[in-house]
Amino acid sequence: MIPGEKSSKVIERGSDLLDILTQDPDVLPLVPQKGEGVYIWDVDGRRYLDFSSGFAVVSLGHSNPKVVDVIKKQAEKLIHYPVADFYVEAAVDLAERLISTCPGGDKKKVVYTNSGAEANEVAIKLAKSAMRRGRLLAFYGAFHGRTVGALSLTASKWVQQLGFFPTMPGVIHAPFPNPFRNIWGINGYDDPEELVNRAISYIEDLVFKSFPPEEFAAIFIEPIQGEGGYVVPPRGFFQELFKLARKHGILLMDDEVQMGLGRTGKMWAIENFGVSPDSIQFGKAIANGIPLGGVIHRDDIAFRLAGQHSSTFGGNLLGLSVASVVLEETWKILPNVERVGMHLGRRLGELMDEFEFIGDSRGIGLARAIEIVETSGSLKPDGKRRDEIVREAFKRGLILIGCGESSIRIIPPLNIDIETVDRGVDLLREALLAAGKSA
Ligand SMILES: Cc1ncc(COP(=O)(O)O)c(C=O)c1O
């Protein structure tokens, strides 16, 4: 029986005691207990292939022995000292390493945070205080977090905003150039230049003619929209956006919380697009499960006065010690991400040819998704069938999570091998067959 008896009991008690969760237990009734590499075991002892990496966090796999070892050693030495208040050597060392990973040669600084949302809060504060401008531009489909500032930038699903109005004023959203489905009805795979032109001219000819561009401090981007559906824009988009931003003296703040740290086969996803942003916000995978985030930004937009920004736990020592292992290991496995990612992309392309309700298969490296639509050739999202596929995959021992209105992300740990990817894709195929019959 799925879920098992113990899982069912925890779900029942949890739904009574915990405020509502994002994943519907009727779709994905996972009650995790133990993890090792790409596998998770639930409380009933059932094993799953985790193609969600615990929501894009454990890029080196669950309970990676190197990570466990460094946590133990650091815990025995020192668990806490606030790195926003004192110069802690591990924080300095990691900042040096992080800066060395960034594109662009300008002098940079680092602020550490507890999460991705907080990293974006810091980026908002940096942009506003450095530029002395109040407006921000973000994109429809974007997800930048759920704290009030970051939530103002988020425009992914209406439920994320429900009941929280008014959020931070001064944010304008523009359409993201989604090649598969966009407001202009352009097939962006066939005509990427036209899609880029339309997206840029929307900002230039509509937004900046309606609101003074000199009042915009920054444009917030995700190089690939994550929660919004793993949407990859045309390669030329960010270069044109960067040119437009520079023309008006506006900063480009790059949210790499989900796509950064090797997920696309480059250390930072923006490197796929040949642009050096003014800041990089990171989180999720940086400490393989220990909460840590931060911002790497140009020195000339850094905070200037002590007390302008701080955080008690931001940059906790356990996280910092793991992050140095994560960086070291990520460099080593980037070629694996590219190689296995290409293979995964090919296999998902085959599934798209086989199943007419897969409308799109997209991604770079091991940041991939398929989008479920109503019928062949249709752009109409089919969220119901998507949930059915996730449910069927779970029954077969594969954890997948949705994104966007009807997409499924396929984001295994970055050190996965081709054989294991194939096993996961075979399970996904079985789930597609089952959902095809039942929907
Ligand atoms: C691109 C992006 N930014 C920010 C966040 C928020 O991160 P956190 O949940 O750590 O606050 C997320 C989380 O999914 C994300 O994908």
Nearest CA to ligand 1 atom 9: 116
In tens, the pLDDT along 296-334 reads 999 999 999 999 999 999 999 999 999 999 999 999 999
Residue 80 confidence (pLDDT) above 70: yes
Neighbours of 171 (CB within 10 A): 19
The answer to whether position 339 is within a domain reads no
Q: Ligand 1 centre from 258 Cα, in Å?
A: 6
Q: 260: Cβ below 6 Å to ligand 1?
A: no
Computed over every residue of the chain, the mean pLDDT equals 97
Identify whether the C-beta of residue 115 lies closer than 8 Å to the C-beta of residue 145.
yes
| Residue 438 confidence (pLDDT) | 61
pLDDT band at 436; cut points 50, 70, 90: confident
Residues 6+ apart with CB under 8 A from 426: none
In tens, the pLDDT along 248-280 reads 999 999 999 999 999 999 999 999 999 999 999
Span between the terminal Cα atoms of the chain, in Å? 21
Q: 115: Cβ below 6 Å to ligand 1?
A: yes
Neighbours of 262 (CB within 10 A): 29
The answer to whether position 169 is within a domain reads yes
Domain that includes residue 102, residue range? 66-330
In angstroms, the Cα distances linking 73 to 66, 89, 292, 316 are: 11, 16, 18, 14
Q: 116: Cβ below 6 Å to ligand 1?
A: yes
Q: Please state which of the ranges 260-269, 302-311, 368-377, 405-414 shows the lowest mean pLDDT.
A: 368-377
Residue 269 is which amino acid?
A: A
Which CATH number covers residue 202? 3.40.640.10
| Residue 324 confidence (pLDDT) | 98
The answer to whether position 225 is within a domain reads yes
The answer to whether position 378 is within a domain reads no
Please give the model's pTM, rounded to 2 decimal places. Answer: 0.98
Query: To test the ligand 1 pocket, which listed residue (120, 121, 143) has its Cβ within 8 A of the most ligand atoms?
Result: 143
Q: Ligand 1 centre from 242 Cα, in Å?
A: 23
Q: 283: Cβ below 6 Å to ligand 1?
A: yes
The answer to whether position 377 is within a domain reads no
| Residue 409 confidence (pLDDT) | 98
The answer to whether position 58 is within a domain reads no
- Among candidates 357, 364, 427, 366, which has minimal Cα distance to 386? 357
Taking the CA of residue 118 as reference, the ligand 1 atom at the shortest distance is 11
| Residue 279 confidence (pLDDT) | 98
Query: To test the ligand 1 pocket, which listed residue (121, 144, 286, 316) has its Cβ within 8 A of the most ligand atoms?
Result: 144
In tens, the pLDDT along 188-200 reads 999 999 999 999 9
What value does the mean pLDDT take over residues 395-420? 98
What value does the mean pLDDT take over residues 343-370? 98
The answer to whether position 212 is within a domain reads yes
Residue 192 is which amino acid?
A: P
What value does the mean pLDDT take over residues 336-364? 98
In tens, the pLDDT along 239-248 reads 999 999 999 9
- Among candidates 103, 136, 140, which has minimal Cα distance to 121? 136
| Residue 220 confidence (pLDDT) | 99
Q: Ligand 1 centre from 378 Cα, in Å?
A: 30
Q: Ligand 1 centre from 219 Cα, in Å?
A: 17
Give the percent of the chain with pLDDT over 70.
Answer: 100
| Residue 375 confidence (pLDDT) | 85
- Among candidates 123, 122, 206, which has minimal Cα distance to 172? 206
Number of domains making up the chain: 1
Q: 291: Cβ below 6 Å to ligand 1?
A: no
Rounded to whole angstroms, the Cα distance separating 91 from 204 reads 40
Query: To test the ligand 1 pocket, which listed residue (255, 284, 288) has its Cβ within 8 A of the most ligand atoms?
Result: 284
Residue 439 confidence (pLDDT) above 60: no
In tens, the pLDDT along 149-180 reads 999 999 999 999 999 999 999 999 999 999 99
Tell me which residue has tokens 């994560």.
Answer: 326
Rounded to whole angstroms, the Cα distance separating 254 from 270 reads 8
| Residue 377 confidence (pLDDT) | 82
In tens, the pLDDT along 416-432 reads 999 999 999 999 999 99
The answer to whether position 216 is within a domain reads yes
Q: Ligand 1 centre from 116 Cα, in Å?
A: 5
| Residue 349 confidence (pLDDT) | 98
Q: 143: Cβ below 6 Å to ligand 1?
A: yes
